[in-house]
Structure 1
């Protein structure tokens, strides 16, 4: 039988085949010789992406690792290797341990607020009504807003003579002067709540997507068996949201460890350094000309994120596999 050089149609339909297969001659040759797929001609399309990664990620990361062990600063005319002096200095004055503690506490609080708000919104807005669709859009608006803008707006609302105290004064009939951002204990909680509020729309969408993947027949069977709405959520919906929890918890916890904008706009690390996360210290130290110390802290942050990311994602994936 003669075959066209471009397209070949098998003349016979084997038992069990619904339609004849139509394969180009080139695709047939690839099936016969998989090695042709690795000739190298598709790899050139990776060059732009690899170049961007090389220039803006790999090279700066390697340079950051190297500069962390030098005396690089605006006050030194030469750059010399000084070993672990930067690490020793940061540990001795307590700055490193304090900022590490603040960053971890801040990240955990953000993860709690962001996922708590997002899950609550997803449950209340699960039904596809016109009002719920409009509400979803409104709650997603903060996600696409600038983080600095969100921080400055909330800073204006929460200051002593801000909008919140004025509203409370009107409602209570007396002057209210609460320093919402002036407590050494609760300010970090307030700032973390603002961070969680900004990103709760993203968590809401992920949880909504997870809720939509639940088989309606399973829910209907539970209702027939007499399950209450509360039991329906905690016994069926909540366990089946494990993949959504894996994504949301990992992104919120690890992403907030790289936070900067909202803390800088609201408190600038005050009061008394109780909200000074690592990135804020890096920015401030670099601005003071202490470049090697700032690179040391960024290296410590990188290692901290890696040490938290690997076991966290492993645990969440393992939990997900057990449930599903």
Structure 2
């Protein structure tokens, strides 16, 4: 028995060695070199240079580049721009995460059944996801301006002229823009939540129904907790993705009114276009650090929550 076991083990090892050799023969590691080169040139090198130039006086108005320490950070902090844009970006990201996941979850629940109408509706709600973010922003900007479609529709039903500046409030404009951003990506959240709902064992739902649970209890007591993995993905991607947002805000408000919707990437784009390269890279570095500081604890917390529930 011992010799037979050793023989079988040796045969398995030979098969593994042959399969690995065949894999290396068919897919040599050298095929990865172009991808590594592109990643190095267009990602790693610019990222490292971004860290370096944030501590220099690099600009279109200076002939030489020299290190100036933390002067860029101090200037942005003293001017109030750094704290203002950080606050706006965090508020914007939080609102987008709330809107996107709320809309997506509602759609997933309402369209859970596999009917022809529901399948068609899923496709329709997913269309904004594949649209250009700039196009979505410009469409909503045209709808929400003072003489736009929304005011005309409201005026038609109310019988009087409606002249509401939906994107002109220093308080509520960021909420409107975040809702537009959440609307654009709610189709993706919907699909993730739908996938989570489809993985729930039908026997569990049937057992709960037999025990007397109604539809509301089935959702909040069983389905909602079991959607923890979907929530982990959707919350992380929506929150962290919106911190790197740019297109929707640029198309709708361009950071106005009064800088109340100026997120960090908008400042980076604007200052770089003005030739203030070091300030632009400084704010880009701040954004990188902020995303990193938020991403690690957030994902760790969501994974712990997911493991406790499941």
* TM-score of the pair, normalised by structure 1: 0.89
Aligned to 2:14, which of 24, 29, 34? 29
- Structure 1 pair 32/148, CA: closer, same or farther in 2 (3 Å)? closer
Alignment pair present for 1:72 and 2:61 = no
The residue aligned with 2:75 is: 89
After superposition, where does 1:226-245 map in structure 2 within 5 Å?
A: 226-245=212-231
- Separation of aligned partners in 2, 1:52 and 1:58: 9
- Separation of aligned partners in 2, 1:196 and 1:273: 21
Gaps of 5+ in 1: 1-12, 15-20
Q: Is the 8 A contact 1:30 1:37 kept in 2?
A: no
Alignment pair present for 1:48 and 2:38 = no
User: Which deviates more, 89-98 or 45-54?
Assistant: 45-54
Deviations along 1:279-311, one digit per CA (max 9) or x if unpaired, are 000000001100000000000000000000000
| Structure of higher CA gyration radius | 1
Deviations along 1:170-205, one digit per CA (max 9) or x if unpaired, are 111111111100000000000000000000000000
Structure 1 residue 53 displacement after superposition: 1.1
- Separation of aligned partners in 1, 2:277 and 2:216: 55
- Separation of aligned partners in 2, 1:38 and 1:303: 40
- Note the aligned Cα RMSD (angstroms): 2.2
Aligned to 1:300, which of 273, 283, 286? 286
Deviations along 1:257-283, one digit per CA (max 9) or x if unpaired, are 000000000000001000000000000
- Separation of aligned partners in 1, 2:16 and 2:183: 52
Gaps of 5+ in 2: none
- Separation of aligned partners in 2, 1:102 and 1:37: 54
Alignment pair present for 1:147 and 2:121 = no
Aligned to 2:267, which of 281, 287, 290? 281
* TM-score of the pair, normalised by structure 2: 0.93
RCO (CA 8 Å, sep 6+): is it higher in 1 or 2? 2
Q: Number of matched residues?
A: 302
Structure 1 residue 51 displacement after superposition: 1.3
SS in 1 for 2:200: coil
